[in-house]
Chain A
Amino acid sequence: MKGLAPIATVAVLLALVPFITASNAVLNFLVMAFLIALAGQGWNILGGYGGQYSFGHAAFFGTGTYVTAVLQVRYGMNAWLCFALGIAGGALVGAVIGGLSFRSGLRGSYFALVTLAFAEVLRIVASVAPITGAGVGTLIKLDLRPEAFQFQSRAPFYWVLLALLVVSLILTRIIEDSRFGAYLVALRENEDAAKALGVDTTLVKLGAMTISAAITAAAGGFYAQYFLFVDAGIAYGPWISVEALLAPIIGGVGTVFGPLLGALVIRTLGELTKIVAGDAPGLDLVIYGSVLVAVVAFAPRGIAGLIERVRGRLTPPAAPSLERSHG
């Protein structure tokens, strides 16, 4: 399959990071960036390829988090199994929300608002329901054994998350090349035209939503194991919905590496502004916001789009045709 080589290269390079640096601060930084990239990759499949902009991916992230945490704490189940069930749970929630909203023919901003509403409803339910520990949240017991999906050092966490991320990249690449992916892009460009050509748009959207939800739920499940504490604000709060859509938008919507690029840039920017701002509280967030506005203004198609544009300018006009004739 074409296009797997770049993914493999990135995967190998990133996997070597723990051997280069022993700093857990660096690993922790990358873990948070990958976590956002993974959640963002989920969003990207539905929003980037399918053009269905969700504002409520917290619904899936949170379900992944809570299923992973609650099953372990309340029913003593194995953490890895809980994690897998968390992904399944997220997919199920995705299918249900997708089924309800696509069947009702919700599109564009209406779809965005409905997803936002679902996430908020789940947040409120989680903050009062006894099973989630209500507002007190759920605390996973510290048990630093690999069987319990907890590790003594940060590096194994890093590799597990990297593996999840790579799987999501490959999955996105496969979708990009498949018939399903073509349908998805077709309905993004013109849903009515796609329908007229015989694409079952509801089914395609539902499929994309389910895959999208599962990937974002994986990020949620990982969060639970990494921090061992979940409450309603973390799981279903708007922060993750925003981060999950910001990463692909900054990185480049509808591209395989967009979410990863975006997440790395956003997080790096956040850290850099922190250093620039020093100890003045909140100043880093002001700078961060301003830079973000500038990035979006000058690179509306994200970083991936910017790279393409720069490459287009650098290569002489004759080059593409030459390449083609050689290839």
Chain B
Amino acid sequence: MSRDNLNRRRFLQSTAAAALSAPSIARAQGSAVKVGVLHPVSGALSYSGQQGRIGAQLAIEDINAAGGIKALGGAKIEAVLGDAQSTPDGGNAEVEKMNSAGVAAIVGGYASSICLAASQTAARYNLPYIVDVGVVDSIVTRGLKNTFRFGPGFGVIAKTALDNLVAINDAAGKPAKTVMIVHEDSAFGSGLSKLLNTQLPERGFQVLEVISHPTPTRDFNNVALKVRAQNPDIVIPANYYNEYVLFARTMQQQRVRPKGIYSVLGGAASSYKFVKEFPEAAQYIMDCNHWFDPKNQKALELKKRIDARNEFYTYEVYMNYSCILLLADAIERAGSADRARIIGALENSTFGGHLMPYGPTKFVNGQNQGAAPVNTQVIGNDIQVILPASFASAKAVFPMPRA
């Protein structure tokens, strides 16, 4: 009898304890905010995708180490990683999975075509989507309420690139008159080439030829031969990392030396990896591209950490790092992981704690208004900012000195 009582009492105690502890377990589980981190970490764009993932993961680590989301009682951010496999349908499938996993928002995409598909799928669930890089302007002109782009789009990039090209050419006494464009044939390269092709003649440059190639391409000998035959003053490459490196090296091997290589969003031109591995091919290449604010202490600290890990500090890293910070700030201000409230917080975002030279964010129809590229040039073994003057660390070397 007494044993029975004891058992019953124990039973009651244990169930009561379980009942009491259950909500706290539920709260503990619910307290992490899940964020989708989507990148093409395999396939043709895997290097860029992996770099982007590193940036996002570091930002999440830092936020969690600094006490998580304070408005949610120090809730940690939990990354739900996704591999878009370098295809739009791969990105789409990952968004579906992330939505099922209950993420509060998604950051990433990288390639324009992946961003287009992934953000549209996210829009079905009113799921906030922050585009890390994707530059095609239609990403933010489709009227999707959930989609925000932190970085600049084509329109702004092409205009800045042309303004700066004219400025550099004028400063050198206008040695360049003819141009050749070599671009990859998906949304990014062709879109850019189309813009440049119409605007370069208006600025007094003659476009001799436009050559497109697919990604991946593994041989640029014919393209380099064509460049040699046309002998343009300036070559403008617009392609992803691997193709960019290969093209630059092929030009070097075939001794094709135009007065300048001026890339717009060149996949490699402002990449420390390229400069370190192929310093001769990279020498004096100019680029109009995403770049961190060289006067920002946080950006420089992150560079040191990336260098210490033996990784390269590419734009994917600091743009994704910044996008995660931007999202965390929005969640903080929303005071909730509710999707609609996060979208509302992003719409009103004036976040300035990122690593880019954009100033405080301000979204109009999903596009960050302050976003702009800068001009860089490979000089010696380093990448210097040459324009705008407010950030410049060196003067442009143009035309390229003949070796």
* A-to-B contact residues, CB < 8 Å: 23-25, 28-29, 32, 127-128, 134-137, 139, 141-142, 152, 227-229, 231-234, 239, 274, 279, 281-282, 284-285
Contacts and interface: CB of A to CB of B under 8 A. Distances in A.
A136 B139 CA distance: 12
Contacts of A234: 87-89, 113
A25 B99 contact: yes
A25 B212 contact: no
B365 to A, nearest CB: 15
Interface string B42-76: 10001001100000000000000000000000000
A135 B191 contact: yes
Interface of B: 41-42, 46, 49-50, 81, 83, 87-89, 92-93, 96-97, 99-100, 113, 116-117, 120, 123-124, 136, 138, 142-144, 183-187, 189-191, 193-194, 212, 214
A220 to B, nearest CB: 13
Nearest to A286: B42
B42 A29 contact: no
B194 A25 contact: no
B144 A135 contact: no
B99 A281 contact: no
B49 A281 contact: yes
A25 B113 CA distance: 20
A274 B90 CA distance: 12
Given A24-B96, A28-B96, A142-B120, A136 B190 contact: yes
16 contacts: A25-B96, A25-B99, A127-B214, A128-B185, A137-B186, A139-B138, A142-B120, A142-B123, A227-B89, A233-B186, A234-B88, A234-B113, A279-B81, A281-B42, A282-B46, A285-B42
Contacts of B50: 281
Nearest to B42: A282
A25 B97 contact: yes
Contacts of B89: 32, 227, 234
A143 B120 CA distance: 11
A127 B212 contact: yes
Given A137-B187, A142-B142, A229 B42 contact: no
Contacts of B93: 25, 28-29, 32
A91 B57 CA distance: 48
B88 A229 contact: yes
Contacts of A285: 42
